[in-house]
Amino acid sequence: MDAEVNRAAAETPPEPPLDPVFEIEMQLLLDAIYLKYHYDFRAYAGASLRRRLRTALERFACRTLSQLQDRLLHQPELFPPLLDYLTVQVSDLFRDPAYFRALRERVVPHLRTYPSLKVWIAGCSSGEEVYSLAILLREEGLLERTLIYATDINPQALQRAEAGVYEMDRVPGFTENHRLSGAPGSLSDYYTAAYGRALFDRSLKKHIVFCDHSLATDSVFAEVQLVSCRNVLIYFNRELQDRALGLFREALCRRGFLGIGSRESLRFSAHAEAFEEVAREDRVFRKREGA
């Protein structure tokens, strides 16, 4: 199979026939965003970025990316809504229950051996993953000694995460996921329902710090025992993935744990050798000794 992959690399045309003008405009737009707003999308995976920019063109009623760039540079109020197009805010409580079950069964026993714990949730979006992990740690009796850093680049998402309020119609799905994650109790113990919304418990929030942090431009800020970064790396190209994984490697304590999205892999990364598989199917890894 590897031979085939190499053959593919050798025989396929080097530059795919992308629309050259759109590519130029996209590059210029990303440069402009970086220079003016200091958000760095230049090393994001091209295909889905292209798609989101095309949607943004419609939304902002622009014919070309150059036009969008012009408006963006001169009307700063347009940047926050654009940021919502550039960052994908799709999430769920206990998304992929098997992942959380793997954390419970394979990681929690090791976490118990630490007197105090730090966990980093990178790309936390509107907080669903954060509350999932906080609830899991509470259920396992570990939350009281834990500090969770929840980071993202989208300020509106961080605000929603901090509020911890979700539409009630999402709760049945949340509840089912929670149950499938091997939870001992009921999800309803952790939220209050009011006015068609579920408000997650204050006592969970006490252990969470929400902050603005970019895997593309910022550096490591703490030593942690567990990093959970799910469905963020797929939006990066390989170089940026390597940067992010390098941050996780540096932030993790000796033999610390890393969990990634169910379709993400370390296979193509420069840091692949630094991690060993703990739960292969569920994408839970552990930093190797000395790595």
Q: Name which of 152 and 242 has its Cβ closer to ligand SAM.
A: 152
Distance CA(217)–CA(38), nearest Å, equals 9
Handedness of CA 181, 174, 89, 191 (dihedral sign): negative
Q: Name which of 18 and 168 has its Cβ closer to another protein.
A: 18
Applying CB under 8 A, which residues contact another protein? 1, 4-5, 7-9, 11-13, 15-19, 45-48, 50-52, 88, 90, 231, 233-235, 238, 241, 261, 263-265, 267-268
Smallest gap from Cβ 23 to ligand SAM, in A, equals 21
User: Phi then psi for 210, rounded to 5 degrees?
Assistant: -95, 130
Neighbour count for residue 20 (Cβ, 10 Å):
9
Contact status, residue 146 vs residue 112, Cβ threshold 8 Å: no
Which residues does residue 227 pair with via DSSP β-bridges, in sequence order? 120, 258
Smallest gap from Cβ 209 to another protein, in A, equals 25
Distance CA(127)–CA(261), nearest Å, equals 16
- Distance from the first to the final alpha carbon of the chain: 28
From the list ligand SAM, another protein, none, partner contacted by residue 125 (C-beta under 5 to 8 A by kind): ligand SAM
By CB under 6 A, the residues from 151 to 170 that bind ligand SAM are 152-154, 157
Smallest gap from Cβ 18 to another protein, in A, equals 5
Smallest gap from Cβ 271 to another protein, in A, equals 14
- Residue ranges that bind ligand SAM, judged by CB under 6 A: 87-91, 95, 122-125, 128-129, 152-154, 157, 214-216, 230-232, 235, 261
